[in-house]
Amino acid sequence: MSKFIHNFFGHLKTINRHKLLVMKYCFRCGMIKQGLLHDLSKYSPTEFLAGVEFYQDGKRSPVGAEKLAKGYSLGWLHHKAHNKHHWLYWVDQGLPGQGVVVYKMPENYFLESVLDRMAASKNYSGADYTDWSTYEFFQKSEERHLMNPEDSARTSEMLKYLGENGEEKTLQMIAELYKKFKQDRK
């Protein structure tokens, strides 16, 4: 089998597995629309073809490999600009004199971001996954220092809760938070 065919179907399997797991989590938490729309941009030519070219056998995101090869990742730049559940979507030039501003994520997208992290960790860790995996990965990441401080602290807190209490209780907590978010918007 050619490398392209191997990478094409391998990448497709990886993103489908991730999307379906996030969708399952979102549905369990009452976030139906977000579950259906989650990561649809991964199927766009910009993201999908980069994912095929830099496929990492489903063990890591192709973004890092693309960055090593090119110095940037066009797939990631496209992805973060089209998906509100990524904190980088909420980075912008502020008003004159503010410089760059990292806005606090709206609650519904913040909750989706936690579910996204859970699914990505489970997807890439495979058999090595534990309920602590997502927290440990986040604690090692540089991004937690760059995010909006409230979002960073809450992400850490929720992923620690996952490690201590497991997936079921974490999904229940997120469902309650989402329910409260919807009620507060009425």
Q: What is the largest CA-CA distance in the chain?
A: 56
Locus of tokens 């199927």: 43
The percent of residues in the chain predicted with pLDDT above 90, rounded, is 95
- CB of 101 closer than 8 Å to CB of 92: yes
Question: Structure pTM?
Answer: 0.95
**What is the per-residue pLDDT across 83-109, written as a single tens digit (0 to 9) for each?**
999 999 999 999 999 999 999 999 999
- Which two tokens mark 15? 């993103």
Residue 59: its pLDDT value, please? 83
What pLDDT digit, counting tens, does each position of 36-84 carry? 999 999 999 999 999 999 999 888 899 999 999 999 999 999 999 999 9
How far is 40 from 38, CA to CA, in rounded Å? 6
Domain spans, the chain: 3-185
